[in-house]
Amino acid sequence: MLAAHILKRVIRDGQLRVVDADGKVHLIGPGPGPVPTIRLHDHRLHRDLFLNPKLRFGEAYMEGRLTVEDGTLYEVLDLVTRNIAALESHPLQRVQLLLGRMLHFIHTHNPVGRAQKNVAHHYDLSDTLYDLFLDKDRQYSCAYFATDNDSLELAQSNKKLHLASKLLLEPGQKVLDIGSGWGGLGLYLAKLMNVDVTGVTLSTEQHKVSEQRARDAGLSDRLRFHLRDYRLQQGPFDRIISVGMFEHVGTKHYREFFRKVKELLTEDGVMLLHAIGRMDPPGSTNPWLRKYIFPGGYTPALSEVFRAVEDVGLWVTDVEILRLHYAKTLREWHRRFDANRDKIRALYDERFCRMWEFYLVGCEVAFRNMGQMVFQMQLSRRQEAVPLTRDYMVDFERAMQARSSAAA
């Protein structure tokens, strides 16, 4: 079996049992540890998994042509990603990686019209879907777990406070939220510090919900959301924040993004960028993830981001790396997704459930085993725009927590 050939080259840590389409059992890898079992139900998979495993494995799983019989999908993908370096050293995979990097700029080309189409592919799904696995505020980005016992709701609240601590907010300031989602962060900032918030999104569903939330909160006079590409926004703003949006910008648009940020910021303005990145050099997006989940998406190496910032002439005044926080976030999303699987299947079908299960579990193991991480980068036009030490962040968080406790 061709698939067994490549798996034997790859799995050097752990063990996998594969039942091929003829019913023959292949025990692959030296062990030790759990031995999950996958079954191939289609003879074509013998070839497809050999030629293009990164795309075909996920496709076969979501179509039911590959099933997990012993163990869990997490155990299978954890085993595979722990051995990913061996897979990528295979001659055929090296050719595919090179081809992926050559086509990278085409895959991440996101001009104004195409960017909205790519966003709609993921974020304009059923409104009910996101209620079934996100926290109540619909924070669809990395949470911040201060302790291992934090609930998802508390960790997402921690995240919003942690972000706010880096913005040096003052009442009355004008704040722009680029990629404002369902409005939760804008609503939080407007309430927390009595600032004027403008949010922009390319998702029609998110825009509809966020506008309604602003009206329901009685904050429409200083909290508004627009269905608008950030490149079309007019300024200036004292503060700019962008959370979980930069992954959709595209490499060739990085300088365009930071030029726009610089144009929109006041002279003493501060910008905070929260995004997924990679700890290794520039690469390309997993082909399955690009095709089925995030078309046009890419998680950059920090070197790519810094280069664009340098070329535009902005100061990087602070950087923080969040490592396993997103793995913990994704695990909780998957737990809630699985608990509501019957409801999600009724919204879509079993193929959709298997596709999103593969997405959530695959992303979790990517953060645990493949160098994915989250960075928070603080930017300004002037080096004097923020204090010389980071004490103000801790002081702000403690003050807000004390105020919240007193109010409670």
Q: What pLDDT does residue 407 have? A: 72
**Burial class, 99, CB count within 10 angstroms (exposed 0-12 / middle 13-18 / buried 19+):** exposed
Q: Is the pTM for the entire model greater than 0.85? A: yes
For residue 28, the one-letter residue type is I
pLDDT digits (tens, 9 = 90+) for 25-46: 999 988 787 899 999 999 999 9
Q: What is the DSSP letter of 301?
A: B
How far is it, in rounded angstroms, from Cα 301 to Cα 277? 6
Tell me the domains of the chain and their CATH numbers: 2-102 (3.30.1050), 112-407 (3.40.50.150)
Q: What are phi and psi of 350, to 5 degrees?
A: -65, -35
In 3D space, the residue among 265, 249, 262, 263 whose CA is nearest the CA of residue 175 turns out to be 265
Distance CA 157, CA 144 (A): 8
- Cβ count within 10 A of residue 120: 15
Contact 163, 228 (CB under 8 A): no
Per-residue pLDDT at 101:
61
- As a whole number of angstroms, the distance between CA 2 and CA 48 comes to 9
Residues 96, 185: Cα–Cα separation, whole Å: 39
- For every residue of 331-354, which 3-state class applies, written as one string? HHHHHHHHHCHHHHHHHCCHHHHH
* pLDDT (tens place) for every residue of the chain, 408 residues total: 667 777 777 888 899 999 999 999 999 988 787 899 999 999 999 989 888 888 999 999 999 999 999 999 999 999 999 988 766 665 656 566 666 665 565 666 666 666 666 666 676 788 899 999 999 999 999 999 999 999 999 999 999 999 999 999 999 999 999 999 999 999 999 999 999 999 999 999 999 999 999 999 999 999 999 999 999 999 899 999 999 999 999 999 999 999 999 999 999 999 999 999 999 999 888 999 999 999 888 999 999 999 999 999 999 999 999 999 999 999 999 999 999 999 999 999 999 999 999 999 999 999 999 999 999 999 999 999 999 999 999 999 999 999 888 777
CB neighbour burial string for 277-310, b if at least 16 within 10 angstroms, e if fewer: bbeeeebbbbbbbbebbbbbbbbbbbebbeebbe
Strand order in the sheet with 196-201: 223-227, 196-201, 174-178, 237-243, 265-278, 372-380, 315-322
Euclidean distance between CA atoms 65 and 3, whole angstroms: 14
Give the per-residue pLDDT at 387.
96
pLDDT of residue 144: 98
Count helices and strands in the chain by DSSP H and E runs: 19, 11
Q: What is the pLDDT of residue 326?
A: 98
Rounded to an integer, what distance in angstroms lies between the CA atom of residue 90 and that of residue 81? 15
Q: What is the pLDDT of residue 106?
A: 64
The residues assigned a catalytic role are 363
Residue 144 corresponds to which tokens in the numbers above?
């911040």
- pLDDT given at position 33: 78
| Model pLDDT, residue 85 | 74
How many angstroms separate the CA atoms of 51 and 56, rounded? 9
